[in-house]
């Protein structure tokens, strides 16, 4: 596999160029693109104590929940009861993305529209409730939709069911890399002719005692008691000690540039690069050198036909774990060389926590919005520099910048690494 970037070249034919024409998000900063972006630019923290479950006896009590989510805004009450919270998020984000894209779905095109929604967790909150009901009240009290509703591909299937999509529908379950991989693979599905339009992204809702206890036992979550709850997620900061678990969803509408032009659609950005690579190292820890992450970034640059110094902004994976943030810093240095010290890098997980399978999709939306507005969201809670993390992390305050091309990184459990490159639509 060739990994050296190829020389800059002319864009491919319009029917091979993949653009983003709609976006929808459900996030701890709010539901919808407007409150999400406003919160990011303002540097607001959405981390705090849980309102959905009692974590008072656990070492980690800080989470990033979606506030005031109303599933009935996207679903009828009868349907909402059958769906997991992750599927509810996915349908809500998909409906917003389709509306944002001004895309009409009807008998003329529904066979050519598909959904690729990442999800990895099999709905722990619903599993926790059903397990408790089984042992307390017996098998007759189990929700009849429990098993089907908790399958990892069900958010994608529910998007198809609720929106009437008859096209290519599937899921990706590569944990924290899954949302970005869903977007990258959806672009490939369109390029090879298996769909004209894809709703791509990720959805995850894992916050419950079972999940928190499990991640605590892995020593993955922050357990600091000496910091305010809204300052618990602190990527690249010397006091970081683990991530804050979040929830949410992000869905993008992807289509060919030629089709978007034909229907006079607004074009947010063009997906010009996608790369993925494996660490083959450890079930949870990244490779200490950042080698796998670096290979994913190089492959994304190769596909985009770019040199690293042409990237104007990097949206970092940056979970706020001691090892992960160092590994990503080393990976960026490997790929960018001296330019690593000039490129602005920021981590929105400092504000919304780690949305696991949804993270890459929501962060892709943030990256595209940064390109559109010429503003880089900050890395908040950055107060104590770490000598091992010595790059420009856009600390604490958003920054205006001339942005044309940006990269977003997503790295998952098991050593799965993914990178996406977006640009302002060339020639538009």
Span 381-393, pLDDT tens digits: 999 999 999 999 9
Q: Which pLDDT score, from 0 to 100, does residue 5 have?
A: 46
Give, in order, the Cα–Cα distances in Å from 365 to each of 159, 188, 370. Answer: 19, 19, 9
pLDDT above 80 for 423: yes
pLDDT above 70 for 160: yes
Considering 60, 157, 287, 354, which one is annotated as catalytic? 354
Full-model pTM: 0.95
Q: How many helices (H) and strands (E) does the chain have?
A: 13, 16
Instruction: Give the pLDDT confidence of 175-192 residue by residue, as tens digits.
Output: 999 999 999 999 999 999
Lowest mean pLDDT, pick from 93-102, 142-151, 232-241, 260-269:
142-151
Lowest mean pLDDT, pick from 59-73, 133-147, 156-170, 309-323:
133-147
Q: Which residue has the tokens 């008859």?
A: 166
Q: Which pLDDT score, from 0 to 100, does residue 9 have?
A: 54
- What is the rounded CA–CA span in Å between residue 224 and residue 239? 9
Q: Which pLDDT score, from 0 to 100, does residue 142 have?
A: 79
Instruction: Give the pLDDT confidence of 334-359 residue by residue, as tens digits.
Output: 999 999 999 999 999 999 999 999 99
Q: Which pLDDT score, from 0 to 100, does residue 125 have?
A: 86
Q: Which residue has the tokens 């940056």?
A: 318
- Mean local confidence (pLDDT), 241-249: 98
Helix pair 178-191, 359-373: axis angle to 10 deg = 70
Q: What is the mean pLDDT of the chain?
A: 94
Q: Which pLDDT score, from 0 to 100, does residue 7 have?
A: 46
Residue 232, both tokens:
């618990």
Q: Which pLDDT score, from 0 to 100, does residue 121 have?
A: 84
Q: Where does the pLDDT of residue 327 fall: very low under 50, low under 70, confident under 90, or very high at 90 and above?
A: very high
Q: Where does the pLDDT of residue 166 fall: very low under 50, low under 70, confident under 90, or very high at 90 and above?
A: very high
276, 417 Cβ separation under 8 angstroms: yes
Q: Which pLDDT score, from 0 to 100, does residue 149 have?
A: 80
Q: Where does the pLDDT of residue 130 fall: very low under 50, low under 70, confident under 90, or very high at 90 and above?
A: confident
CA angle 133, 134, 137 (to 5 degrees): 65
Q: Which segments within 192-235 are labelled E, that is strand?
A: 197-204
In this structure, the dihedral spanned by the alpha carbons of residues 273, 278, 283 and 288, taken in order and rounded to 10 degrees, is -90
Q: Where does the pLDDT of residue 146 fall: very low under 50, low under 70, confident under 90, or very high at 90 and above?
A: confident
398 compared with 10, residue with greater pLDDT: 398
Considering 60, 287, 317, 389, which one is annotated as catalytic? 317
Considering 157, 176, 208, 389, which one is annotated as catalytic? 176
Percentages helix, strand, coil for the chain (3-state, rounded to 5) are: 40, 20, 40
Instruction: Give the pLDDT confidence of 193-237 residue by residue, as tens digits.
Output: 999 999 999 999 999 999 999 999 999 999 998 999 999 999 999
Give, in order, the Cα–Cα distances in Å from 253 to each of 101, 160, 271, 365, 426. Answer: 7, 14, 11, 11, 18
4 compared with 72, residue with greater pLDDT: 72
Q: Which pLDDT score, from 0 to 100, does residue 427 have?
A: 64
Q: Where does the pLDDT of residue 260 fall: very low under 50, low under 70, confident under 90, or very high at 90 and above?
A: very high
pLDDT above 60 for 3: no
Q: Which pLDDT score, from 0 to 100, does residue 2 have?
A: 43
39 DSSP 8-state letter: H
Known catalytic membership, residue 354: yes
Entry field: residues in the chain = 428
Q: Which residue has the tokens 């509810």?
A: 88
Q: Which pLDDT score, from 0 to 100, does residue 64 have?
A: 98
Known catalytic membership, residue 60: no
Instruction: Give the pLDDT confidence of 282-302 residue by residue, as tens digits.
Output: 999 999 999 999 999 999 999
Known catalytic membership, residue 146: no
């Amino acid at each position: 596999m060739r990994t050296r970037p190829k020389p800059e070249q002319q864009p491919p034919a319009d029917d091979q160029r993949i653009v983003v024409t709609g976006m929808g998000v459900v996030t701890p900063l709010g539901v919808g693109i407007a409150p999400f972006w406003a919160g990011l630019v303002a540097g607001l923290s959405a981390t705090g104590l849980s309102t959905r479950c009692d974590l008072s006896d656990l070492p980690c009590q800080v989470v990033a929940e979606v506030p005031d989510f109303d599933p009935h805004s996207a679903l009828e009450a009868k349907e909402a009861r059958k769906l997991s919270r992750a599927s509810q998020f996915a349908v809500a984000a998909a409906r917003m993305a389709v509306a944002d894209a001004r895309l009409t779905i009807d008998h003329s095109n529904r066979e050519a529209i598909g959904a690729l929604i990442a999800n990895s967790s099999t709905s722990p909150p619903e599993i926790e409730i059903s397990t408790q009901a089984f042992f307390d009240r017996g098998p007759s009290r189990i929700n009849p939709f429990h098993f089907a509703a908790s399958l990892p591909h069900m958010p994608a299937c529910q998007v198809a069911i609720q929106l009437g999509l008859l096209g290519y529908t599937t899921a990706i379950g590569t944990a924290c890399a899954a949302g970005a991989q869903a977007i990258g693979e959806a672009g490939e599905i369109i390029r090879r002719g298996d769909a004209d339009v894809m709703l791509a992204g990720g959805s995850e809702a894992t916050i419950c005692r079972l999940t928190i206890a499990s991640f605590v036992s892995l020593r993955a979550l922050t357990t600091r008691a000496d910091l305010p709850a809204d300052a618990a997620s602190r990527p690249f900061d010397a006091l970081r000690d683990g991530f804050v678990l979040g929830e949410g969803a992000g869905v993008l509408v992807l289509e060919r540039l030629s089709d978007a032009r034909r229907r006079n659609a607004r074009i947010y950005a063009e997906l010009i690069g996608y790369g993925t690579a494996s660490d083959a190292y450890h079930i949870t820890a990244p490779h200490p050198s950042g080698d796998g992450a670096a290979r994913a970034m190089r492959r994304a640059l190769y596909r985009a036909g770019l040199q690293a110094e042409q990237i104007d902004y990097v949206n970092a994976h940056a979970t706020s774990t001691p090892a992960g943030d160092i590994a990503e810093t080393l990976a960026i240095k490997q790929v960018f060389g001296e330019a690593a010290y000039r490129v602005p890098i920021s981590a929105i997980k400092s504000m919304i926590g780690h949305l696991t399978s949804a993270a890459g999709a929501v962060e892709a939306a943030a990256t595209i919005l940064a390109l559109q507005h010429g503003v880089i969201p900050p890395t908040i809670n950055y107060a104590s520099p770490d000598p091992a993390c010595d790059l420009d992390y856009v600390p604490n305050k958003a920054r205006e910048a001339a942005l044309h091309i940006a990269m977003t990184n997503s790295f998952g459990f098991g050593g799965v690494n993914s990178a996406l490159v977006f640009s302002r639509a060339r020639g538009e």
